[in-house]
């Protein structure tokens, strides 16, 4: 690695911009103040930047460093802001990796939620059983990485309570979700146990409509939109990194908001 090489890259500014996107403030400010150069970045990550493959490897490394930093900075006791009813965004936006006319139809009479992996409690749940549990609601802001945010009201079961009844090993690292539309995502255990993480069954006081994830959406105001799975059919508690639909395509895994 020579400094000449770093400076020779005509796309150095673009690479630094990409890397900056992967980092959250205050690390991002180091770029703004020009304290971190492309060369400095390569040295920090221990990667060479001689070709595009190694640049990608470096960006991936920064992203996983970012996951660890975010996990470290996550305060399990800090609550995300909540809002009054008057601030609810109407109509609330729909988003998925397909158009609204392709929203999956889940049959509530045959639907079952399964829990797998590191859990020794109840493993199969019907919707009636989930509705019979104590319900909470929250009015919070959903932030999508595609550049929009909206305030909505979701109601359901506190996920920490659900995990306790499922006998989940809460010392495990990850909780993974598989959805009826084949979407998937996974979260860290501290976020799974956060007080505002709800297994939601309703939207704005009504049964969750198909477009918002019937029969259930895991709602986390501490995480970006793509980490909030809709149409969940299976939950797995695991120590093996599960990834996810967007995460496998390069979205940051921790995805805090």
Ligand X SMILES: Nc1nc2c(c(=O)[nH]1)N[C@H]1C(S)=C(S)[C@@H](COP(=O)(O)O)O[C@H]1N2
For ligand X, the binding residues (CB under 6 A) are 93-97, 144, 179, 181, 183, 211-213, 225-226, 228-231
Torsion, Cα of 228, 183, 94, 24 (10° steps): 50
Which of Mo ion, ligand X, none lies near 162, with the C-beta cut-off 5 to 8 A by kind?
none
Nearest to 40, CA basis, from 87, 3, 81: 3
Euclidean distance between CA atoms 187 and 243, whole angstroms: 9
Residues whose CB is less than 8 angstroms from the CB of residue 212 and which lie 6 or more positions away in sequence, other chains included:
92, 94, 203, 230
Which of Mo ion, ligand X, none lies near 178, with the C-beta cut-off 5 to 8 A by kind?
none
Nearest to Mo ion of 118, 142 (CB atom): 142
Nearest to ligand X of 39, 229 (CB atom): 229
Which of ligand X, Mo ion, none lies near 231, with the C-beta cut-off 5 to 8 A by kind?
ligand X
The contact set with Mo ion (CB under 5 A) reads 144, 225-226
Which of ligand X, Mo ion, none lies near 89, with the C-beta cut-off 5 to 8 A by kind?
none
> Which residue pairs from 53-61 have beta carbons closer than 8 angstroms and sit at least 24 positions apart in sequence?
55/15, 58/19, 59/15, 59/18, 59/19, 59/22, 60/250
Residue 139 forms beta bridges with which residues?
153
Euclidean distance between CA atoms 217 and 158, whole angstroms: 12
Nearest to ligand X of 58, 127 (CB atom): 127
Q: Shortest Cβ distance from residue 257 to Mo ion (Å)?
A: 11
Nearest to ligand X of 123, 211 (CB atom): 211
Q: Shortest Cβ distance from residue 162 to ligand X (Å)?
A: 18
């Amino acid at each position: 690695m020579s400094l000449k090489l770093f400076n020779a890259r005509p796309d150095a500014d673009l690479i630094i911009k990409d890397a900056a996107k992967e980092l959250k403030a205050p690390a991002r400010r180091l770029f703004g103040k020009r304290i971190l150069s492309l060369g400095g970045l390569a040295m920090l990550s221990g990667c060479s930047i001689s070709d595009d493959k190694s640049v990608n490897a470096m960006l991936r490394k920064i992203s996983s460093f970012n996951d660890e930093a975010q996990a470290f900075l996550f305060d399990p006791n800090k609550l995300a802001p909540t809002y009054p009813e008057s601030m609810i965004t109407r109509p609330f936006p729909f988003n998925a990796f397909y158009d609204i006319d392709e929203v999956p139809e889940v049959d509530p009479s045959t639907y079952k939620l399964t829990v797998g992996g590191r859990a020794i409690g109840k493993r199969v749940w019907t919707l009636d059983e989930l509705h019979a549990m104590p319900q909470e609601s929250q009015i919070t802001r959903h932030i999508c990485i595609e550049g929009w945010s909206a305030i909505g009201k979701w109601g359901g079961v506190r996920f920490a309570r659900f995990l306790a009844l499922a006998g989940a090993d809460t010392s495990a690292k990850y909780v993974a979700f598989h959805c009826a539309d084949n979407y998937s995502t996974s979260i860290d255990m501290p976020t799974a146990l956060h007080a505002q993480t709800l297994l939601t069954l309703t939207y704005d006081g009504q049964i969750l409509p198909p477009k918002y994830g019937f029969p259930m959406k895991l709602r986390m105001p501490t995480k970006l939109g793509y980490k909030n799975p809709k149409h969940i059919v299976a939950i797995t508690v695991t120590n093996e990194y599960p990834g996810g639909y967007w995460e496998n395509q390069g979205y940051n895994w921790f995805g805090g908001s």
